[in-house]
Amino acid sequence: MAETTETVSGKIRSYVAREYFPGNEDDLKDDTRLISDGHIDSVAVMVLVDFLEKSFGVEFEPYEVDADNLDSISLMSEFVLGKLG
């Protein structure tokens, strides 16, 4: 089954809410700036990359591990779908 924007975003949102916004899930929006606003640090970014790679079967190149691809659920979804598509 091909992944859609909704399914990719939903999986990422569920993970990010559980891991980084426990009890505050309502504060998490698709455009919440995770790295820029300090919600996640560099260690959390690496854990997040591992989650994305394993969940969607994609592989990040070292230069792709940055805020341009990981700063929000929307950006992560676009990146993952681009890798899949």
What pLDDT does residue 49 have? 98
For 17-56, how does the pLDDT look when each residue is reduced to its tens digit (9 = 90+)?
999 999 988 889 999 999 999 999 999 999 999 999 999 9
What pLDDT does residue 1 have? 58
Q: Report the C-alpha gap between 26 and 28 in whole angstroms.
A: 5
HSE, side-chain direction, 13 A CA sphere, residue 3: 20
**Whether residue 57 has pLDDT greater than 80:** yes
Note whether 15 and 47 are within 8 A (CB).
no
Q: Report the C-alpha gap between 12 and 6 in whole angstroms.
A: 10
**Whether residue 66 has pLDDT greater than 90:** yes
